[in-house]
């Protein structure tokens, strides 16, 4: 409990004790009034101060003004009637403060997830100088510097591991409890915690551009982007509060005057008391507090699960996502080419891979790298001579004195070598040794382990259509879409074509449905911006994609998309429940008060009770369960 909350709790206890004691003290008249007024000021001085500031700043009609007016009115009524019953006004303020304390505690609880996320901010970076580690501000570390991260320390900047092996705790970033192992040559992002081993990291970004800085910036600014529901509450309060104040004036003054005009007893005390009770009931606390709290809790709960939502407006838009459009490479697939099959004629499979890897050893193309990786041994370049790249066709080289051709069907046709056609999905590398066809190697982009399950979960979450957009050949795209269970596929697209396809889908979608686009690359940024809701793969995604997106998935797992939609729908459901529940109870109590069927005690219990129920309902958005 924070210091401010503790002070409020002490004031509540002191006031409650004072009220109990005053019930047994035999004092009357002015001393009794002063004693009760002292108790009132202990519990209500801050509300009076806020009400005064609101009046001076031109914002009189808020809950502080209503509460101050109602409770002071109860005091004046007790003085006017000489009843000496000052308990009601103080009790109303006491219960209101109890409700405020509870609300403050609930908000604090909902902040814990985001506060935990803020703990990823690094305090320092270690730079080695003269054989000693020196702690410097991460802002002062230049790109290309070597930093040292010891066990138990946070990784302060993005970079590449130069030396060392370690396991990293990435739970604050991804929500994933399992540690991630890194070794020399692996990319590493800031915000992780080194669990064991000493790492030397060559930095690739300044601190201001690092993953941890961007995450913190996204979360800190999330509350500034308001949803339609929050905007509705703001507009509602501007109309509602003056309306109930006017209604209270009519109830307390106009009704007695009308009664006098008709020759009836004005009953001023009774009607003014009803008007003051009406003001207490009218406080829109439950709505004003619970709706923003619901969104805040939803964003906090999502961040705990490794889903960063940039604002409550995006959370609300995500809940209406009925069409999900995917980029393929790096989103549904790993974006890493691997050898998936080797079909050989007369030559051994291992030998065929060896010849292919050696022939391709001078190329930096991803296909060449995948062949060298599949070979799995150190390349001895002295065995290779006369390497020549045939543009758009492949490589010719001499390996151990043998003439090796490695390339596509066009390369085989160029050298008049009969080859076996292959219908496998992927890139086909045909191999010829000394003019004889030796076989072919299939290289494919590997589908992510959870992609198929992710599509199924989206269907279960109420997504009506899934679409895949890719620049790949139609044969490859259709095979991937079929394997994953995607409804529609558009292939052989340029980046500009993707925007056009999304435009067409948006024009033809149902009126109340939103279209979400999921991507990870630089060329996806325009599409992410154009979609109703843009979702970027964060951990491996490009900076441009993350900047353009409305939602960022921190662990690149497509399973997170369905989770994000479910979290948003749960949150919006809670918001709607609180709006309906609060308004029904509020207008019901106002009607009962106007007809004299509810006193001030009942009013405050109704008001605080509704607020507590609404707040308890709101903080359910913090937790996500499958």
Asked whether residue 162 is assigned to any structural domain, the reply reads no
Under a CB-based contact definition with an 8 Å cutoff, are residues 166 and 122 in contact?
Answer: no
Residue 200 lies in a domain: no
**Quick one: pLDDT at residue 25?**
85
Quick one: 55 and 99 in the same domain?
Answer: yes
pLDDT score at 241? 74
46 flagged as catalytic: no
What does the pLDDT look like over 201-222, one tens digit per residue? Answer: 999 988 887 777 766 665 555 5
pLDDT digit string (tens) for 267-298? Answer: 888 888 888 778 777 766 667 677 777 887 88
Task: Report if residue 306 sits inside a domain.
Answer: no
The residue segments making up the domain with residue 263 are 3-115+224-295+570-622
Asked whether residue 437 falls in the same domain as residue 408, the answer is: yes
Residues 426 and 453 in one domain: no
User: How far is 521 from 495, CA to CA, in rounded Å?
Assistant: 10
pLDDT at 305 over 60: yes
pLDDT of residue 219: 55
Domain end, chosen from 388, 414, 446, is at: 446
Return all residues near 350 (Cβ < 8 A) that are at least 6 apart.
none
Tell me, yes or no, whether 284 lies in a domain: yes
Which among 327, 445, 557, 607 is annotated as catalytic? 327
Residue 184 lies in a domain: no
Mean pLDDT confidence for 242-252: 84
Mean pLDDT of 363-386: 85
- Are 286 and 326 contained in the same domain? no
Domain count, the chain: 3
Task: Kindly report the average pLDDT of the chain as a whole number.
Answer: 82
pLDDT over threshold 60, residue 345? yes
pLDDT at residue 248 above 80?
yes
114-140: average pLDDT: 77
424 & 456 share domain: no
Distance separating alpha carbons of residues 257 and 480, to the nearest angstrom:
79
Residues 102, 237: one domain?
yes
Looking at the fold, whether 474 and 400 belong to one and the same domain comes out as no
Coil vs helix vs strand at 147: strand
Q: Which residues pair with 515 in a beta bridge?
A: 323
pLDDT at 226 over 60: no
Same-domain check for residues 418 and 391: yes
> Is the pLDDT assigned to residue 458 strictly greater than 90?
yes
Q: Which helix (H) or strand (E) holds 162?
A: strand 159-163
Q: Check pLDDT > 90 for residue 456.
A: yes
pLDDT digits (tens, 9 = 90+) for 14-43: 999 998 998 888 888 888 889 999 999 999
**What's the rounded mean pLDDT across residues 593-616?**
77
Contacts of residues 393-399 at CB distance under 8 Å and 24 or more positions apart, as own/partner, are 394/429, 394/430, 395/359, 395/360, 395/363, 396/359, 397/358, 397/359, 399/355, 399/358, 399/359
CATH of residue 509's domain is 3.40.50.1000
Query: pLDDT band at residue 406, thresholds of 50, 70 and 90?
Result: very high
Tell me, yes or no, whether 235 and 328 share the same domain. Answer: no
**CATH number of 347's domain:** 3.40.1110.10
Question: Across 106-120, 523-537, 600-614, which has the greatest mean pLDDT?
Answer: 523-537
Of 446, 465, 499, the one marking the end of a domain is: 446
> Do 474 and 494 belong to one domain?
yes
Region 588-617: mean pLDDT is 78
pLDDT band for 540, please (50, 70, 90 cuts). Answer: low
Q: What is the pLDDT of residues 54-89, one digit of tens each?
A: 888 877 666 777 778 777 877 887 777 776 678 877
d(CA 25, CA 351) in angstroms, rounded, equals: 102
Residue 129 domain-assigned? no
Total-model pTM? 0.66
Which of 403, 429, 446 finishes a domain? 446
* Domain annotation covers residue 342: yes
Cα separation of 93 and 96, whole Å?
Answer: 5
* Domain identity same for 535 and 581: no
Does a structural domain hold residue 14?
yes
231 and 107 assigned to the same domain: yes
Task: Label residue 6 by pLDDT band (50, 70, 90).
Answer: confident
How confident is the model over 486-514, as a mean pLDDT? 86
pLDDT reported for residue 536: 85
């Amino acid at each position: 409990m924070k210091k401010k909350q503790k002070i409020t709790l002490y004031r509540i206890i002191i006031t409650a004790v004072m009220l109990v004691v005053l019930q047994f003290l035999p004092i009357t008249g002015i001393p009794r009034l002063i004693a009760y007024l002292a108790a009132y000021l202990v519990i209500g001085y801050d509300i009076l101060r806020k009400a005064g500031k609101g009046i001076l700043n031109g914002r009189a009609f808020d809950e502080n003004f209503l509460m101050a007016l109602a409770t002071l009115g109860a005091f004046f009524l007790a003085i006017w009637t000489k009843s000496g019953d000052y308990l009601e006004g103080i009790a109303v303020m006491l219960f209101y403060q109890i409700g405020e304390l509870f609300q403050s505690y609930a908000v604090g609880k909902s902040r814990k997830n985001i506060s935990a996320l803020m703990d990823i901010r690094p305090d320092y970076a270690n730079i080695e100088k003269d054989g000693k580690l020196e702690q410097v501000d991460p802002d002062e570390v230049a790109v290309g510097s070597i930093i040292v991260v010891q066990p138990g320390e946070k990784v302060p900047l993005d970079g590449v591991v130069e030396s060392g092996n370690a396991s990293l705790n990435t739970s604050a970033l991804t929500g994933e409890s399992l540690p991630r192992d890194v070794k020399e040559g692996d990319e590493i992002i800031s915000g992780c915690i080194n669990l064991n081993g000493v790492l030397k990291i060559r930095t690739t970004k300044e601190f201001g551009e690092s993953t941890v800085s961007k995450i913190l910036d996204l979360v800190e600014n999330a509350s500034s982007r308001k949803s339609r529901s929050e905007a509705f509450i703001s507009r509602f309060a501007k109309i509602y509060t003056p309306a109930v104040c006017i209604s209270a004036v009519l109830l307390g003054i106009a009704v007695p005057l009308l009664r006098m005009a008709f020759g009836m007893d004005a009953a001023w005390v009774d009607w003014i008391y009803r008007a003051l009770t009406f003001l207490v009931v009218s406080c829109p606390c439950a709505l004003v507090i619970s709706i923003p709290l619901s969104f805040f809790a939803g964003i906090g709960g999502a961040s705990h699960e490794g889903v960063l939502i940039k604002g409550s407006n995006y959370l609300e838009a995500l809940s209406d996502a009925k069409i999900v459009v995917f980029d393929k490479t790096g989103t549904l697939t790993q974006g890493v080419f691997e050898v998936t099959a080797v079909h050989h004629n007369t030559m051994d499979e291992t030998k065929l891979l060896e010849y292919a890897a050696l022939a391709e050893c001078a190329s930096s193309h991803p296909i060449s790298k995948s062949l060298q990786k599949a070979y799995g041994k150190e390349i001895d370049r002295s065995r290779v001579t006369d390497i020549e790249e045939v543009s758009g066709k492949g490589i010719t080289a001499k390996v151990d004195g043998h003439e090796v051709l490695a390339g596509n069907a066009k390369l085989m046709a160029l050298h008049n070598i009969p080859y076996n056609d292959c219908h496998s999905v992927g890139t086909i590398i045909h191999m010829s040794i000394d003019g004889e066809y030796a076989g072919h190697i299939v290289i494919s982009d590997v589908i992510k382990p959870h992609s198929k399950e992710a599509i199924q979960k989206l269907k279960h979450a109420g997504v009506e259509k899934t679409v895949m957009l890719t620049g790949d050949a139609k044969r490859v795209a259709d095979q991937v879409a079929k394997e994953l269970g995607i409804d529609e596929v558009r292939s052989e697209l340029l980046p500009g074509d993707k925007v056009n396809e999304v435009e067409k889908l948006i024009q033809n979608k149902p009126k109340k449905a939103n279209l979400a686009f999921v991507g990870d690359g630089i060329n996806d940024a325009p599409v992410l911006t154009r979609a109703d809701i843009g979702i970027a793969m964060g951990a491996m995604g490009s900076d441009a994609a993350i900047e353009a997106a409305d939602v960022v998935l921190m662990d690149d797992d497509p399973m997170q998309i369905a989770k994000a939609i479910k979290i948003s729908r749960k949150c919006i459901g809670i918001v709607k429940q609180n709006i309906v529940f609060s308004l029904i109870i509020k207008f019901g109590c106002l009607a009962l008060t106007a007809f004299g069927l509810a006193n001030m005690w009942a009013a405050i219990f109704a008001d605080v009770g509704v607020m507590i129920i609404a707040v308890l309902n709101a903080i359910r958005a913090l937790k996500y369960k499958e």
